[in-house]
């Protein structure tokens, strides 16, 4: 009985990835090229999200600064969810809604990218981070799910939405990690092609 349930989880994950691939591939390629170009020009990527999305932001930043699958110089990626002193000070003084936006104001500069992750597209602190990024001249890649939420409506034509085709949070998160691995692989290949 439990094996059937587990098999259904695999099937649902595969279906969500296939549905997303059919819609998201052009935007994913555009995001990869944009990030590679920015990183080559000395810009950085700031990443944020809540809960599992915070873990994904940290994962992506670690893949940039360390390595993904091939040896290469470190690339500047910063997860905005890892500094507990900043998070607690900003949360205490300005409210949890501003924990990422204040860091974007402090660390971001025009030409940098914000990788904003929200499975619902409605996380208030991620929305405020996007607004701060746009005000400072950063570009935005938003990883969303479901309808894209408020974030989808907030993005400019120069921003990029990578939306998982699913209504289920677990499936959205599984697609998001695939998006991030695709971006890492593409960045490596674009900047440091395999011989």
Q: Which helix (H) or strand (E) holds 4?
A: helix 2-40
Give the CA distances from residue 26 to residues 20, 31, 41, 126, 140, in Å, rounded to whole numbers and listed in that order.
11, 9, 23, 24, 16
- Residue 49: helix, strand or coil by DSSP? coil
Instruction: Tell me the binding residues for substrate.
Output: 50-52, 63, 92-93, 118-120, 123, 173
Tell me how crowded residue 101 is: count the other CB atoms within 10 A of its CB.
Answer: 25
Instruction: Tell me the binding residues for Zn(2+).
Output: 59, 63, 173, 181
Instruction: Tell me the binding residues.
Output: 50-52, 59, 63, 92-93, 118-120, 123, 173, 181
Alpha-carbon distance of 113 to 134, in angstroms, equals: 10
């Amino acid at each position: 009985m439990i094996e059937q349930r587990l098999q259904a989880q695999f099937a649902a994950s595969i279906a969500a990835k296939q549905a997303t691939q059919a819609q998201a591939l052009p935007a994913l390629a555009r995001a990869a090229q944009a990030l590679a170009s920015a990183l080559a020009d000395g810009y950085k990527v700031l990443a944020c999200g809540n809960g599992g999305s915070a873990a994904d932001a940290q994962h992506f930043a670690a893949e940039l600064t360390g390595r993904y699958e091939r040896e290469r110089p470190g690339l500047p990626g910063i997860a905005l969810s890892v500094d507990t002193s900043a998070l607690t000070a900003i949360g205490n003084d300005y409210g949890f809604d501003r924990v990422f936006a204040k860091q974007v104001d402090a660390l971001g500069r025009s030409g940098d990218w914000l990788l904003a992750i929200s499975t619902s597209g409605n996380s208030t602190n991620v929305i405020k981070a996007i607004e701060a990024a746009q005000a400072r001249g950063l570009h935005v890649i938003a990883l969303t799910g479901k309808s894209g939420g408020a974030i989808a409506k907030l993005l400019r034509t120069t921003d990029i939405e990578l939306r998982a085709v699913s209504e289920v949070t677990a499936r959205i998160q599984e697609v998001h990690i695939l998006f991030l691995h695709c971006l890492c692989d593409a960045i490596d290949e674009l900047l440091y092609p395999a011989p």
